[in-house]
Each structure stands twice: as C-alpha cells, then as structure tokens.
Amino acid sequence: MDTLWFFSLATKFCRQSFSARRRMLLVWGVISWSAGCLGCYRPAVVPPPVSINRPQLPPVIETPVIPAPQEPEVPPVTPITKDNPWKPEAAAREWKYIVLHHTASEQGDVESIHESHLKNKDKNGKPWLGIGYHFVIGNGQGMTDGEIEPTFRWKQQMQGAHAGVPDYNQHGVGIVLVGNFEKEPPSAAQLASVKRLVRVLAREYEISKDQIVGHGDVKPTECPGTHFPLSEIRGSITALIPEDSLVDHLDGSLPLR
C-alpha cells in the first residue's frame, strides 16, 4: 500500500512545473521531518519486574506436649480431726464400751450383712431389725479397703445386736471389720481406720482403753479372731488423758502405730 502511494506521488511530481515541483519537495521534506520527530515520542519499553528471591525460613518444629504424671488413686480414708466426723444428728446414747468384731468372711459390706441379720431372731423369737453393728470397716472386697461406714443403728443412736450380752448391746458401740482374722490379720488400711475410729469414739464418749474389748471378752467366741491385734488397738489411745490434750494429738501429730 505504501509503495503504490509513493509511485503515484512520483508520477504527479514529474508532470508538475519546476516551481510546483519545488513546492512539492518542500512539503515532502516537512512531512518526512515530522515523521522522524514523531518517532522520538514512542513510549519507552518498560522492563519486566525483577523477581526477588526471598530466603527460605526454616520450618517451625512444634515441641511435643508431655502430659503431667497422674497421681495414683488413694482410697478414701477419714482423716483424724479435732471434730467427730461420725457425730450423729440424734441425741447421743450413753456409751460405755467399744466392742470389736470380725465378719469371719472373705468379703462383705453393710447391705450384705444387713440382709443376713434380717434372718436372725432374738431369744423371744422376734426377728432382728437388720444389721446389728454400728460401724463396718471394709477390706476391699465389697467395700473400699479401710472405708468406715456407719449403719442405721449409729445414725439413730440405737442399741446394738452384736454382743450377746444386754449391757454390751445397750451401751457398747459395735464395730465389725470385714475379714476372717482366724486366717490372717486385718489389712494395713483396716488397722489404721479402726485405730482412728476408736480414738475418736473414746475421746467423744470418755471410754477408757480397758473398756475397748473384743467380742470374745464378753462372750465365749473366737471373734474377732486370733490374728486380731486387740492390744495394739487399745495401746493406740491413752487412758484417762485430758480431752484437750487428746484433741491436740488427733490433728495428726500423734503417729498411727
């Protein structure tokens, strides 16, 4: 297209007069100069952006969380305190003795002993009201080892049905430990619990260690068994000690033996 236009312009140029050709050359020169200047205003080529390689950060390593060691489960044991944790809501009975027993069985709890005693009858042929003891201490078979559980007789401050002698039933706190102590002694937890219970009761009701007896001391029977440490339990309290002094020791300063 540009070639044809140039050829046509040249033909016209040759046919013009000299003066006309001179004017045409002048116009042509001006047009050529203008075209050359216009090339100066072409937009500059923008170079592509330079990519910057950022340094690679090291990977974040998470520190593993180590769980804290769990404390071993400890069976519930009633602590020695200055207060009586077994103090009943009913008016206190006149207690003079503490009578200790064993169940002569490998296992048991308050409910099973209660069901068994409901089948018993007194000398007049009347059925028992249920469990004859005031407290039961478990051995881990039916109850937690060392657990102390009061029965309805203690909560209502009723006479017991455990000694076979009226005075000891009427005024004796009956405590039974689950187990057969003709075969083996009580567990360490049972021994600690019975000492604790006897101490609190002896202080609360002013019972001397001479009035802490085994069932066999009031009636011919092998209960509470030849392996029952009765003298050790008696020795765990101090007879005729002033109440305030005994209370001071019950805060834990007197070691369990």
Domains of the chain: 97-249 (3.40.80.10)
Paired strand residues for 101: 176
Single pTM value for the model: 0.62
Tens of pLDDT along 98-150? 999 999 999 999 999 999 999 888 888 888 899 999 999 999 999 999 999 99
What is the pLDDT at residue 95? 97
**Gap between the Cα atoms of 130 and 116, Å rounded:** 8
What is the pLDDT at residue 20? 60
Torsion of CA 222, 225, 230, 233, to 10 degrees: -140
**Gap between the Cα atoms of 177 and 194, Å rounded:** 8
Helix, strand or coil, per DSSP, at residue 207: coil
Q: What six digits make up the tokens of 89?
A: 């809501």
Structure confidence at residue 13 as a pLDDT band (50, 70, 90): low
Cβ atoms 105, 178 nearer than 8 A: yes
Q: What six digits make up the tokens of 202?
A: 């002896």
Say what angle helices 2-15 and 18-38 make with each other, to 10 degrees: 150
